[in-house]
Amino acid sequence: MKHPFLLFVLSVAFIALSAGCNKPPPPPPVSSALPPPTPETVVARLTQTNLPAILPHKIDPATAFPQALASLSPTGTAPKVLAPSATASKDDASTTTSPADEQTTDDYKIVDPNRPPTKGLTADGVTTDLVMHDWTGIVLVPLDTSVSRAHTVLVAIDRIEAHPLDDGQVRIWARIRNVSDGPLPSEVACSFRTAESPEPERPIFYRLDIPRGDYRDVFFVSPDGRNLNSYTVLVRSGDESTSASGSLH
């Protein structure tokens, strides 16, 4: 009588083990990592998203930074260049000046395409020259610039553009104007937020001197291999006692 009972127990164990062997394997874990960015994904990400973490942009047919054309990729298409009057501040016309100050004050209204080559910064602070022919020619303008810039009352940021590059990085251009009563020693930086690093990394500030009534154009390059969510152009006043990581001339 013991043998049939033993066979029954073994049979049940065999059936259970057989069912375990035939059970389909669990699905692989879903990865939240995004593939490396491309120019196409950069444009789609910044212009066709409703995600609150991403700064929305629109495509602009023209650029206010003619010097950026020096970085155009051989496969890129050059956009139009905005006329000088198109980049003047809206409240410039209401500014009253004396004859002695008129020429100096008006200097920042004119975008001179013959200005010396502009300096810029990579996200890691290594390169400062505009030497890469990597711009696709697409101009992206943030829809809400109030969340993409932070500055002191001594400067105004007249224009911000995002230029997608061939390798999926983004070059951020900013026109910083001195609205103080004298020469302005300042420091500039750009803080980037990416899908891979949602919290902004500590920005590297660089010295930027802006004469009275004048402006300077600067650019910053987003981190390599990361999908850009948003950025903030930072400007702070500086003096000889303030330490900076480098300088822009």
Amino acid, single-letter form, for residue 176: I
Q: Is residue 178 part of a domain?
A: yes
Model confidence, pTM? 0.71
> Is 173 part of a structural domain of the chain?
yes
Q: Considering only residues 101 and 46, tell me which one the structure prediction assigns the higher pLDDT.
A: 46
Residue 52 lies in a domain: no
Residue % of the chain over a pLDDT of 90: 31
The whole-number pLDDT of residue 117 equals 38
Choice between 70 and 83, residue whose per-residue pLDDT is larger? 70
> What confidence category does residue 127 fall into, taking pLDDT thresholds of 50, 70 and 90?
low
Query: What was the pLDDT predicted at 33?
Result: 78
CATH code at position 171:
2.60.40.3230
In a domain, 53, yes or no: no
Instruction: Answer yes or no: is pLDDT of 99 > 90.
Output: no
β-strand partners of 177? 156, 215
Distance CA 59, CA 150 (A): 23
Indicate the Cα dihedral angle 177, 183, 186, 188, nearest 10°.
30
Q: What is the band of 145 on the pLDDT scale with cuts at 50, 70, 90?
A: confident
Q: Poorest-confidence range of 54-63, 97-106, 125-134, 178-187?
A: 97-106
Query: Does residue 5 lie in a domain region?
Result: no
Domain span holding position 226: 59-84+119-249
Give the count of domains, the chain.
1
